[in-house]
Structure 1
Amino acid sequence: MKKCKLFLLVVLLGIMPFSFAQKGGTKDNTVTFYFTRHGKTILNTMDRVQGWADTPLTPAGVEVAEYLGAGLKEENIQFKAAYSSDLGRARQTARIVLDAKGQKDMVVTEVPGVRETNFGSYEGEFNPKMWNDAALYLHYKSYKEMMAAMEKNPALLKDMVDSFKALETLGIGEDYNEVKARGQKAIREIAEKEAANGGGNILLVGHGMSIGIFLSDLDSYGKKPDAGHMGNAAVCKVTYKYGKFKLESFGDMSYIEKGKLVSGK
């Protein structure tokens, strides 16, 4: 009887790694994140500040999320799990992407830690107003001059975000390090959980500025995100293996372009 139980245990242990692979896992438990910015919203369209404030996707925002889903489907990328920030625009985008790629039954887990930056009293204000205030605070003549400087030195993003907190009047805004700490903590928790479950492809829908902050020094090998604007529904690919993150790509719009081709647009 004991020999029979031992044989059964050996068989089960032999089957388990194969079962993980069948369910979307990997042999070495590698987790591959597809960080995605939400689709275009009403406040995006009006060029207004949108951090913790929230508005739904516009028809164009829905469409670009559908293109992303179609492009991911064309590339045969199957998600093992899906996450989003707890803001409606991210949750809505995640649902549209999954539906468009044929994973309609997948549940989206909301993670408050990957929210966008809280801009305090600037929420809902016109973007140029906030950026110009920050530029003057940092001794630039205009936000255009500040943005030009940031293209040459992406590290200036920290100074800009910190200035938003210094200038907003509600006392609830976040500085750069606060945003980075909460986001990276949430990402690592997801990575460790999914690695323990066998790894695989993970969708995580968030927000343009905060994704850049989260990924600023997440890469264990020193690679940093490219400077510049992250388009709606753009993808950043990050792998997690043996406790280390690696940034594979940033702000990739190619999946959207493939989705347009598949859709005949």
Structure 2
Amino acid sequence: MKKSVLQKFKLIALMLLTLSISPQVSGQNKKTSKQNNTVVLYVTRHGKTILNTMDRVQGWADTPLTPEGVEVAKFLGLGIKDVNFKAAYSSDLGRARQTARIVLDTKGQQNLGITEVPQLRETNFGSYEGDLNSKMWGDAALYLHYKSSKELFADMSKNPEILKRAMNTFKTLETLGIGENYEDVKARGQKAIREIAEKEYLTGGGNILVVAHGMAISVFLSDLDSGGKKISGTHMGNAAVSKVIYKDGKFTIESFGDMSYVEKGKQVLGK
């Protein structure tokens, strides 16, 4: 009889011990699961706008998409149709928001909302906003001791550091005192991308659409890759996609300025 009672006490003690350990094990499993929640960011440039068409400076200044810009956003939507987006973000400038909406509507995700993030804006070019691109780049070229903007661009294609110098020059030369330099844009943009990635990581990971701006994207991604991969491009086509993977707190840039999704969309329509 005494042996039977002793066995019962042992069984109860074992059950209590199991219950006390289970929540901790469950928490550990939950934590491990979160660490595997890969986030895939599809960082996209907006479609072509009125100021793009006029070859004028467009940073914080904003104009809507042209018919061509709407069309290329639709091409992207069709070309990326097989990618199911869990969330969508854009800068708070109309051309980025408009592009994101067209892409989502075209691919069949009409009910997915767009979170606007001001830190994803293009560079603020100050008094150069709305002026001819040739004027701004020409001024920068002369300031940096180039004979012409053509010579500046040729050097920039070989040395991405020249973009940094040019952007710093824009801030130096603009007269409103509100322009941004390379580090200004990089700091706010990388902070925004990291916050988006970490937020989505904590809620299960997934595919995320991020619509921003050409020069800004090249700056945001310039040295974001944890493996040391550098972004050498300084220009990308409208609706180009840069695919960025976020896992275990690190970023990997899988592609930059990819136009294959747009081309796939064109093929769908027989363009």
**Common topology (TM > 0.5):** yes
Structure 2 CA distance for aligned equivalents of residues 226 and 235 of structure 1:
15
How many residue pairs get aligned? The number is 248
Return the match for 1:122 from 119, 128, 140: 128
Q: Which residue of 2 aligns with 1:237?
A: 243
SS at match of 1:250: coil
Q: TM-score normalised to the size of structure 2?
A: 0.88
Q: TM-score normalised to the size of structure 1?
A: 0.90
Structure 1 CA distance for aligned equivalents of residues 63 and 118 of structure 2:
17
Structure 1 CA distance for aligned equivalents of residues 55 and 169 of structure 2:
20
User: Is it true that 1:108 corresponds to 2:111 in the alignment?
Assistant: no
User: Is it true that 1:89 corresponds to 2:95 in the alignment?
Assistant: yes
Structure 2 CA distance for aligned equivalents of residues 259 and 28 of structure 1:
31
Runs of 5+ unmatched residues, structure 1: 21-25
Deviations 1:17-55 (A, max 9, x none): 8xx9xxxxx981110000000000000000000000000
Q: Which residue of 2 aligns with 1:46?
A: 54
**Which one has a bigger Cα radius of gyration?**
2
4+ residue stretches of structure 1 with deviation over 4 A? none
Q: Measured at CA, do residues 46 and 141 of structure 1 come closer, stay the same or move farther in structure 2, by a change above 3 Å?
A: same
Return the match for 2:152 from 146, 156, 161: 146
Shift of 1:229: 1.9
Shift of 1:121: 0.1
Return the match for 1:32 from 32, 40, 48: 40
SS at match of 1:136: helix
Report if aligned partners of 1:226, 1:250 keep a CA contact under 8 Å in 2.
no
Return the match for 1:157 from 132, 156, 163: 163
RMSD over aligned CA atoms reads 1.9
Q: Percent identity, please.
A: 71
Q: Which residue of 2 aligns with 1:58?
A: 66
Deviations 1:59-118 (A, max 9, x none): 000000000000001xx1110000000000000000000001110000000000110000
Report if aligned partners of 1:162, 1:174 keep a CA contact under 8 Å in 2.
yes
Structure 1 CA distance for aligned equivalents of residues 186 and 68 of structure 2:
30
Return the match for 1:247 from 246, 249, 253: 253
SS at match of 1:245: strand
Paired AA for residue 183 in structure 2: N
Structure 1 CA distance for aligned equivalents of residues 233 and 42 of structure 2:
19
Q: Which residue of 2 aligns with 1:185?
A: 191
Report if aligned partners of 1:150, 1:227 keep a CA contact under 8 Å in 2.
no
Q: Which residue of 1 aligns with 2:7?
A: none
Return the match for 1:137 from 143, 164, 173: 143
Structure 2 CA distance for aligned equivalents of residues 228 and 217 of structure 1:
13
SS at match of 2:255: strand
SS at match of 1:249: coil
> Which has the higher mean CA deviation after the structures are superposed, 219-228 or 254-263?
219-228
Q: Which residue of 2 aligns with 1:23?
A: none
Q: How does 1:153-232 map to 2 (within 5 A)?
A: 153-232=159-238
